């Protein structure tokens, strides 16, 4: 059974750094793109970017390029999303998402809620 298990909720202050994780299991981690989707409170889904753990090829949405870093450690089947300096506007639910060969998202993590106070 394919599972994506994300790290727990975070409460941070503006300017702090954060690295969240998503551990994949039940499939060959290095053979699928895995990425991140943001959902701000009461708003829609926003695609942030993806990484191919097999070779670390990474793609970002123009809206998130330079704002976050996506990485992966294939030895432990885990993808990461990190910020160097959080802003209050980063408050959102973040979903980890496995992408199929045609870029649809066939499996989702349970979500990690990030709350950033100013």
Partner 1 sequence: QSALTQPRSVSGSPGQSVTISCTGTSSDVGGYKYVSWYQQHPGKAPKLMIYDVTKRPSGVPDRFSGSKSGNTASLTISGLQAEDEADYYCCSYAGSSVVFGGGTKLTVL
- Positions that interact with partner 1 (CB under 8 A): 37, 44-47, 49-50, 59-63, 95, 99-100, 102-106, 108-111
For residue 14, the minimal CB distance to partner 1 (Å) is: 26
In the complex, the smallest distance separating the C-beta of residue 43 from partner 1, rounded to whole angstroms, is: 8
Tokens found for residue 57: 């090829």
Question: Hey, which residues does 98 pair with through a beta bridge?
Answer: 34, 107
Length of the chain equals 118
Residue number, 73 or 115, with CB nearest to partner 1: 115
Phi, psi at 53, each rounded to 5°: -60, -20
Judged by beta carbon, residue 85 or residue 106, the one nearer partner 1 is 106
User: Is 61 or 69 the residue whose CB approaches partner 1 more closely?
Assistant: 61
String of DSSP letters for 53-65: TTTTEEEE-TTTB
The CA angle 80-37-13, to the nearest 5 degrees, is 65
Q: Which two tokens stand for residue 107?
A: 């499996």
**CB of residue 33 to partner 1, shortest distance in Å:** 10
Assigned token pair, 46: 């926003």
CB of 111 to partner 1, least distance (A): 6
Residue 62 or 75: the one with the smaller Cβ distance to partner 1 is 62
């Amino acid at each position: 059974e394919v599972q994506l298990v994300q790290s727990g909720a975070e409460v941070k202050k503006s300017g702090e750094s954060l690295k969240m994780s998503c551990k994949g299991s039940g499939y060959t981690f290095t053979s699928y793109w895995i990425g991140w989707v943001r959902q701000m409170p009461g708003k829609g889904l926003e695609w942030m970017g993806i990484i191919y753990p097999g070779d670390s090829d990474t793609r970002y949405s123009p809206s998130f390029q330079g704002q976050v870093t996506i990485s992966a450690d294939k030895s432990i089947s885990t993808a990461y999303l990190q910020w160097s300096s959080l802003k209050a506007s980063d408050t959102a639910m973040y979903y980890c998402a496995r992408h199929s060969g045609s870029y649809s998202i066939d499996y989702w993590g349970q979500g990690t809620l990030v709350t950033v106070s100013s």
